[in-house]
């Protein structure tokens, strides 16, 4: 970390001075930028890629996963606004389980960008965090690197939306990662898309195998959606095809650990794949692990392409449209905050006075080879739990909040709350908390969680 005096000594120029600095324009950060600017804060969003959306757009994680009770979404606010806009554009839809976010990632890039610009947030793409600027225990900004060199961005409040807790870690916030017993992280995914697929023929084939969730208009949906999956040992209809493909040398055994695809709203004739899954060298903060995941993933994608062409009617002439530019990281660093959400909180449906999000997505732990294939534990029917504001408030430092999958939570609890609608809710809550702290002249740690919850409810939050 650097001090303000270090910046002067090293001759690091100041690029911007803002009231709210959002580091990372991903799932949480894009929403934090919108919310902070709408609260009247001079806001800058710094992003390493050339677009917003993070894993949604860069890692091609196109289904948001359902988070609702009795058909009612548990998160509102800007999350609901984004979904409504995509649905109106026919770039998203509603599936049979009530998932309101099966979307076209290219459309989401544009929607997030337009909402940030309209709110008055400034965007800075193609820029990475190099260091953190501190004044004692107070975060005063960051040092960034880009084509123009090194420069400092100073801020009165900073929100770490990097997903990996990069700012918090560099500021000295205690962090942890992986399973508490073994340190093992969840596997990566390197997602991809295929084009020139005859979806009607593919749907008919899947239906002939006994699949029911194929190419139909769900109630309230603007577009038809198709879905299928295969995991070894589940007895699912595609398993015999996978077994033969392994015997024929088309696939490797690991390729059947997790296979899943969906059609895409706004992109007729395309399929989005939630695979391959990478189970070795899976520390999302290790650049060599990420590099090898990308190379392994691309080789696996070629095997899947060959399998689809040979075995799935409607895919004979399919071609590779895109491989995700980002490796899909489910879990890496998690901060230690004022409160650590636990699996008992999740499964027990615990409620909090300072809640900033509601969730009933299950504990969803993808395990590595040699362990159980998948651990999925649901909450009781009709139940939900809440995420307290304190999970966004890191220990030991001031004027910094964290939003997204690196919140303060146990390994198990994080597997439930990491889904996109919750990360969006965290981003909005962190931004509104920054505005309240500036208005009241207090650090974010001292913002009353109950008052924050009430303010989020005024802004359309379902709390």
Q: How far apart are CA 44 and CA 388, in angstroms?
A: 26
- Express each pLDDT in 376-395 by its tens digit: 899 999 999 999 999 999 99
**CA–CA distance, 82 with 102 (Å, rounded to integer):** 12
Helices (H), 348-419: 411-417
Calpha distance 121→43 (Å, rounded): 5
pLDDT of residue 222: 47
Structural contact between residues 233 and 162, judged by C-beta atoms closer than 8 angstroms? no
Instruction: Give the residue carrying structure tokens 């289904």.
Output: 63
pLDDT above 70 covers what percent of the chain?
94
**pLDDT class for 373, splitting at 50, 70, 90?**
very low
Question: What's the confidence (pLDDT) of residue 64?
Answer: 83
pLDDT at 223 over 60: no
- Tens digit of pLDDT for each residue in 273-324? 999 999 999 999 999 999 999 999 999 999 999 999 999 999 999 999 999 9
Structural domains of the chain in order of their starting residue, each with its CATH number = 2-182+331-458 (3.50.50.60), 188-323 (no CATH)
Q: Which residue has the higher pLDDT, 229 or 373?
A: 229
Alpha carbons 273 and 41: distance in angstroms, whole number: 39
Average pLDDT, integer, range 415-419: 97
Q: Which DSSP category does 60 fall into?
A: -
Alpha-carbon span 200 to 461, nearest angstrom? 39
Helices (H), 271-410: 287-311, 343-347
Tens of pLDDT along 232-243?
999 999 999 999
What's the pLDDT at 259?
96
Q: What are the residues whose beta carbons fall under 8 Å from the beta carbon of 384, sequence distance 6 or more? A: 69, 74, 349, 358, 359, 360
Q: How many CB atoms lie within 10 A of CB 167?
A: 28
Reply yes or no on whether the pLDDT at 65 is more than 90.
no
Work out the mean pLDDT of the chain and round it to a whole number: 94
User: In what helix (H) or strand (E) does residue 342 lie, and over which residues does it extend?
Assistant: none
pTM: 0.96
Q: What is the pLDDT of residues 189-205, one digit of tens each?
A: 999 999 999 998 998 89
Phi, psi of 357, deg, nearest 5 = -160, 155
């Amino acid at each position: 970390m650097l001090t303000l005096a270090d910046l002067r000594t090293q001759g690091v120029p100041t690029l911007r001075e803002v009231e709210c600095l959002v580091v990372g324009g991903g799932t949480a950060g894009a929403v934090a930028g919108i919310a902070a600017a709408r609260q009247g804060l001079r806001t800058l969003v710094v992003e390493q890629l050339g677009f917003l959306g993070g894993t949604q757009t860069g890692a091609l994680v196109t289904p948001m996963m359902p988070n609702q009770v009795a058909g009612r979404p548990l998160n509102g606010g800007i999350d609901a606004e984004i979904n409504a806009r995509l649905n109106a554009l026919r770039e998203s839809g509603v599936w049979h389980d009530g998932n309101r976010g099966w979307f076209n990632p290219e459309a989401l890039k544009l929607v997030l960008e337009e909402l940030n610009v309209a709110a008055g947030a400034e965007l800075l793409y193609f820029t990475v965090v190099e260091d953190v600027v501190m004044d004692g225990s107070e975060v005063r900004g960051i040092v960034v690197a880009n084509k123009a060199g090194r420069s400092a961005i100073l801020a009165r409040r900073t929100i770490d939306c990097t997903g990996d807790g990069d700012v918090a870690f560099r500021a000295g916030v205690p962090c942890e990662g992986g399973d508490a017993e073994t340190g093992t992280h969840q596997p990566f995914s390197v997602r991809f898309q295929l084009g020139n697929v005859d979806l009607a023929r593919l749907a008919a084939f899947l239906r002939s195998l006994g699949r029911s969730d194929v190419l139909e208009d769900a109630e309230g949906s603007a577009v038809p959606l198709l879905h299928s999956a295969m995991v070894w040992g589940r007895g699912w209809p595609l398993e015999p095809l996978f077994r033969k493909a392994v015997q024929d040398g088309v696939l490797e055994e690991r390729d059947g650990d997790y296979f899943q695809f969906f059609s895409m709203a706004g992109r007729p004739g395309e399929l989005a794949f939630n695979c391959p899954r990478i189970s070795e060298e899976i520390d999302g903060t290790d650049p060599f692990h990420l590099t090898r995941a990308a190379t392994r993933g691309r080789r696996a994608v070629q095997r899947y392409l060959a399998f689809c062409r040979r075995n799935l009617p409607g895919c004979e002439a399919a071609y590779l449209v895109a491989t995700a530019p980002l490796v899909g990281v489910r879990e890496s660093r998690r901060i230690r905050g004022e409160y650590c959400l636990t699996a008992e909180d999740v499964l027990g449906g615990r409620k909090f006075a300072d809640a900033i999000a509601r969730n009933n997505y299950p504990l969803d732990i993808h395990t590595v080879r040699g362990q159980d294939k998948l651990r999925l534990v649901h909450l009781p029917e009709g139940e939900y739990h809440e995420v307290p504001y304190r999970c966004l408030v890191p220990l030991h430092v001031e004027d910094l909040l964290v939003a997204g999958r690196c919140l303060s939570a146990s390994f198990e609890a994080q597997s439930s709350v990491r889904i996109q609608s919750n990360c969006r809710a965290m981003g909005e809550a962190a931004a509104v908390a920054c505005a309240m702290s500036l208005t009241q002249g207090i650090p974010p740690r001292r913002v009353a969680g109950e008052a924050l919850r009430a303010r989020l409810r005024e802004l359309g939050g379902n709390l």
